[in-house]
C-alpha cells in the first residue's frame, strides 16, 4: 500500500469517527490516488487534481467542482503531514449555487423504466431493478437508503419500513401501501428461489447474492433511462434517480392542495417522511414545481379576498 492510499484510509477513518459518512469520498478518493499512481506521482499536485476532477470531459461543471472539493478537503488535511502536498485553491472550479432542475417524471416515464428493467435478461437482476424503481417512486426514499435496507427492516405484518443510518444519522419509519408490501413480498419469494443463499441480509441483492453498490446502480440507471427513451430536458434537467424523490414530494403536496388540506400544518409530516432536517428543506420542492406555485398563489389570493 502506498503512502497516499494509507493516508486516504486514515483521513476517511478520522472523519468518520467524527460522524461524517463520506460515502462519495470513500468512492472517489481511492480513484484519485490510482490516477496519481498511474501518472507516477507520489504527492498531490494542483495540476493532477484538476485533471482528475475534470473527468469525464462531458460532465457538468458542478460535478467537476464537487470532485475537486473532495480532493481539496483531503489535501488540506494531508498537507499537515506531507509538505509536498499542493492544496487546490478554493477559487479553482468554484462550486455553483445553482441546483439541478428536477426531471418531471410522468406515470408513463416510470412505466417505461419498469419495462426496461423487466427486459433485463437475468431474471433476478430484472426483478431487483423493477422493485427498486417502484420502491423509490412510491416512498421517496434516497437510493443510498434503499440499497442499505435489510429484509429485517420491513415489518411485513404492519406494513412499516424502517430506514436506518440515513443521511443525517437518524432512523425513520415509513408506512407502506398494501400494494407496495405485496410487491416486496413477491420480490422476496423470487429472490429466495433464484438466490437461496445470499451473502448479505440486504433486501436488494445482485446476481452474486451481494448487496448492491451505488456506482453500479447509477450506471445501470443510465442504461435503463436510455432504453426507456427518456431524454434530458436541458443540461441541468436530466433523469436522475433522485428525481423520483422529488416526484413523490410534489405529488403528495399537489394532492393536499387539491383536497383543500392545511399544507403548512402537514408539511412537517412530509419532512419527517422524507428524512429532511427541517420543513424548509421540503419547501424547495414547492418552489421547484410551477403547478405547486400556482396552487399556492390561488390559495393565498383566496385567503386575502383578492378579486378574480
Percent of the chain having pLDDT more than 90?
Answer: 62
Q: What is the pLDDT of residues 104-134, one digit of tens each?
A: 899 999 999 999 999 999 999 999 999 999 9
Active-site residue (options: 67, 142, 148, 246)? 142
Question: In this structure, are residues 239 and 105 in contact, taking their beta carbons and an 8 Å threshold?
Answer: yes
285 part of the active site: yes
Question: Residue 160 pLDDT > 60, yes or no?
Answer: yes
pLDDT number for residue 6:
94
245 part of the active site: yes
Domain boundaries, the chain: 3-78, 108-227, 243-304
- 33-49 exposure pattern, b = at least 16 Cβ within 10 A, e = fewer: beebeeeeeebbbbebb
3-state secondary structure of 237: strand
What is the average per-residue pLDDT within 127-156? 96
Containing 272, the helix (H) or strand (E) segment is helix 263-274
Distance of alpha carbon 86 from alpha carbon 43, whole angstroms: 8
Comparing 79-93, 226-240, 258-272, which segment has the lowest mean pLDDT? 258-272
- 104-123 exposure pattern, b = at least 16 Cβ within 10 A, e = fewer: bbeeebbebbbebbeebeee
Distance of alpha carbon 74 from alpha carbon 80, whole angstroms: 11
Query: Which of 299, 255, 303, 247 lies closest to 274 in space, CA to CA?
Result: 247
Containing 279, the helix (H) or strand (E) segment is helix 279-287
Distance of alpha carbon 146 from alpha carbon 135, whole angstroms: 8
pLDDT number for residue 296:
55
Active-site residue (options: 72, 240, 247, 276)? 276
- C-alpha distances (whole Å) from 192 to each of 186, 201, 288 are 10, 12, 41
Distance of alpha carbon 298 from alpha carbon 21, whole angstroms: 42
218 part of the active site: no
Q: What is the pLDDT of residues 253-271, one digit of tens each?
A: 888 878 888 877 887 888 8
Q: Which CATH superfamily is domain 108-227 in?
A: Intergrase catalytic core (1.10.443.10)
Distance of alpha carbon 271 from alpha carbon 279, whole angstroms: 5
**Cα 131 to chain centroid, rounded:** 16
pLDDT number for residue 307:
46
The DSSP secondary-structure symbol of 139 reads: H
Active-site residue (options: 15, 21, 167, 172)? 167
Mean pLDDT computed over every residue of the chain? 87
177 part of the active site: no
**Residue 58 CB-half CA count within 13 A:** 1
pLDDT number for residue 35:
95
Question: Per the confidence metrics, is the pTM higher than 0.75?
Answer: no
Active-site residue (options: 67, 148, 238, 245)? 245
Residue labelled with grid coordinates 468518520: 16
Amino acid at each position: 500500500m502506498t503512502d497516499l492510499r494509507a493516508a486516504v484510509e486514515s483521513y476517511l477513518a478520522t472523519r468518520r469517527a467524527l460522524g461524517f459518512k463520506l460515502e462519495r469520498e470513500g468512492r472517489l478518493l481511492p480513484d484519485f490516488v490510482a490516477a496519481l499512481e498511474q501518472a507516477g506521482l507520489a504527492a498531490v499536485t494542483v495540476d493532477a487534481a484538476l485533471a482528475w476532477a475534470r473527468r469525464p470531459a462531458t460532465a457538468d461543471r458542478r460535478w467537476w467542482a464537487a470532485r475537486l472539493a473532495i480532493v481539496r478537503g483531503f489535501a488540506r488535511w494531508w498537507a499537515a503531514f506531507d509538505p509536498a502536498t499542493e492544496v487546490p485553491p478554493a477559487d479553482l472550479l468554484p462550486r455553483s449555487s445553482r441546483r439541478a432542475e428536477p426531471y418531471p417524471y410522468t406515470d408513463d416515464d416510470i412505466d417505461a423504466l419498469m419495462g426496461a428493467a423487466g427486459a433485463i435478461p437475468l431474471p433476478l437482476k430484472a426483478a431487483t431493478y423493477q422493485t427498486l424503481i417502484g420502491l423509490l417512486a412510491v416512498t421517496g426514499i434516497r437510493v443510498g437508503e434503499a440499497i442499505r435496507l435489510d429484509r429485517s427492516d420491513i415489518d411485513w405484518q404492519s406494513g412499516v419500513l424502517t430506514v436506518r443510518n440515513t443521511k443525517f444519522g437518524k432512523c425513520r419509519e415509513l408506512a407502506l401501501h398494501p400494494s407496495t408490501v405485496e410487491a416486496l413480498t413477491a420480490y422476496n419469494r423470487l429472490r429466495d428461489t433464484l438466490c437461496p443463499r445470499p451473502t448479505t441480509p440486504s433486501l436488494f441483492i445482485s446476481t452474486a447474492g451481494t448487496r448492491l453498490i451505488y456506482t453500479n446502480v447509477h450506471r445501470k440507471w443510465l442504461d435503463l433511462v436510455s432504453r426507456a427513451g427518456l431524454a434530458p430536458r436541458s443540461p441541468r434537467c436530466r433523469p436522475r434517480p433522485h428525481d423520483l424523490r422529488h416526484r413523490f414530494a410534489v405529488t403528495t403536496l399537489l394532492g393536499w392542495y387539491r383536497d383543500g388540506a392545511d399544507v403548512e400544518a402537514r408539511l412537517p409530516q412530509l419532512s419527517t417522511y422524507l428524512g429532511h432536517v427541517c420543513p424548509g428543506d421540503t419547501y424547495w420542492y414547492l418552489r421547484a414545481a410551477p403547478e405547486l406555485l400556482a396552487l399556492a398563489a390561488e390559495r393565498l389570493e383566496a385567503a386575502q379576498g383578492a378579486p378574480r
